[in-house]
Structure formats: structure tokens, C-alpha cells
Amino acid sequence: MRNEIYWIVTATIEPEHYDACVEMLTPLVAATREEPGSNAYDYSISSDHTVIHIYESYRDSAAVVTHVQDTFSKFAEDFGRFLTINAFVVYGWPDEAAKEILDGFGSTYMTPFVGYTLSDTR
């Protein structure tokens, strides 16, 4: 069993908040990039600037806990001002500590059953 935990979040934003949201997210992305357990952290937006998909990948459950408690928590209030989470789908096998945190976002859990990631070989 691999340890990687990843998710896709679907969120909505008011188009007029786009610039302020980018300004808020830029230091969050930079801080996340410095986390040793972060594999990917990517935001994508629809052409009408109303729907955002967030892809995040972490080495393991401990990295998830570190990210949310140490990094994301500093930006959570501003994040909530600009974005409304509509779906939060988690893939992998998060441990109880990670699930406790992810449950707070209303997560749905999907268990991989066939496939691979390159992190399997690291």
C-alpha cells in the first residue's frame, strides 16, 4: 500500500474576487512548496472565473497534518472569505489524525484499488 494522500477540491468564487484571491493564494502556494512532504499544490480556474479546482498531493498522512495545521491554518480565514468549498474528494489511505482534519472540510474518501503513482517507487 502506498502512503501518498491526494485530493481534488471544487470551490466557487465570485469573479470580482479573483484578483484578491490570487494575491492571498500566492504566499500560501509558496509556503506549501517549502513543505518537505508536499508533492503538488495546483489551482485551476474556469474561463468565467467562477469555479476553482484545487489539486493537492502529500507524501503521507503526517505531511497532510503538517500542511493543514502549520501552513494552511494561517490562510484559512482569508481562504474562506473568497472561496466556497462544494466538494472535497480525498484519495489514498489517510490515517486517523489526517482523517480527523480532512473531515472538517466535509471530505468524501475514495480508496484506490488499481493503478500506480510514481511516488510508489521513491
pLDDT tens digit string along 18-49? 999 999 999 999 999 999 999 999 999 999 99
Q: DSSP letters along 12-64, please?
A: E--GGGHHHHHHHHHHHHHHHHT-TTEEEEEEEE-TTS-EEEEEEEESSHHHH
Contact 114, 28 (CB under 8 A): no
The pTM assigned to this predicted structure is 0.92
pLDDT tens digit string along 55-103? 999 999 999 999 999 999 999 999 999 999 999 999 999 999 999 999 9
- Does 5-112 carry CATH code 3.30.70.100? yes
In the chain, where the domains are located: 5-112
Sorted by sequence, the CB contacts under 8 Å of residue 119 that are 6+ apart come out as: 2, 3, 4, 39, 59
